[in-house]
Amino acid sequence: MCLVETERLRIRELALSDSSLIYKYSIEKTMQEELPDQVYESENEAREVIQFLTTKYRTSPQSYPLVYGVVLKTSNTLIGHVGLSEISAGIEIGYAIGMNFQGHGYATEAVGAFTEWARNSLEINTIYGIVKTSNKGSQKVLSNNHFIFKKEEFAKSFGGQYLNKVCVLSL
């Protein structure tokens, strides 16, 4: 099911057939550096994660994490994902675009459309974006979508293995 369309992208539900690309993107260098908790050991592990994530689409009230695929309209190619997760302060947006597709504004376009959908459809007033201080590209994606810098702090990774200096932005 297509959730949102933009000029160049479709944001749609993930499918088990996306497993190979999700796995491929997960082992790229930028994913290993920026989102190590989303690096999968095999295509089978990626499939299991997608299977879990797709159970969240039909829950009521809405259940998180809520993750969707980002697809190029011209080729119908899955190029990444965008989603929402619960954090202690509220709801956080997360996103990743495959390395070969970075630098074309796709993340900015996907985040903009997805946050608008979340605010309107899920009635979420505040959405946080938490990125490493060193990840200037991701900070730009958020600021281009009117997220405002709130603070800088040290935070554990999702796995709790190390501390990162992060920027907290909100919309």
pLDDT one-digit tens code per residue, 120-149: 999 898 998 888 888 889 989 999 999 888
Q: At 110, is the secondary structure helix, strand, or coil?
A: helix
Cα distance between residue 118 and residue 147, in whole Å: 14
75 phi, psi to nearest 5 deg: -120, -5
Most confident of 35-39, 58-62, 88-92, 102-106: 102-106
In this structure, the number of other CB atoms found within 10 A of the CB of residue 13 comes to: 17
pTM: 0.89
Q: Which pLDDT score, from 0 to 100, does residue 31 have?
A: 85
| CA pair distance 123, 143, nearest whole angstrom | 21
Q: What gap in Å lies between CA 130 and CA 61, rounded to an integer? A: 25
**Per-residue confidence (pLDDT) for residue 110, from 0 to 100:** 98
Query: What are the sequence ranges of the domains in the chain?
Result: 2-170
**In this structure, which amino acid lies at residue 159?**
G
Between the CA atoms of 33, 35, 38 and 43, what dihedral angle is there, to the nearest 10 degrees?
A: -40
* Alpha-carbon gap, residue 38 to 23, rounded angstroms: 9
For residue 23, pLDDT over 70 is answered with: yes
- Say if residues 115 and 124 touch (Cβ distance below 8 Å): no
- Nearest-angstrom CA–CA distance, 125 and 105: 25
For domain 2-170, give the CATH number.
3.40.630.30
Closest CA to 98 of 168, 171, 29: 29
Assess whether pLDDT exceeds 90 at residue 88: no
Annotate 34-52 with b (16+ C-beta within 10 A) or e (fewer). Answer: bbeebbbeeeeebbebbee
Cα Rg, the chain, nearest whole Å: 15
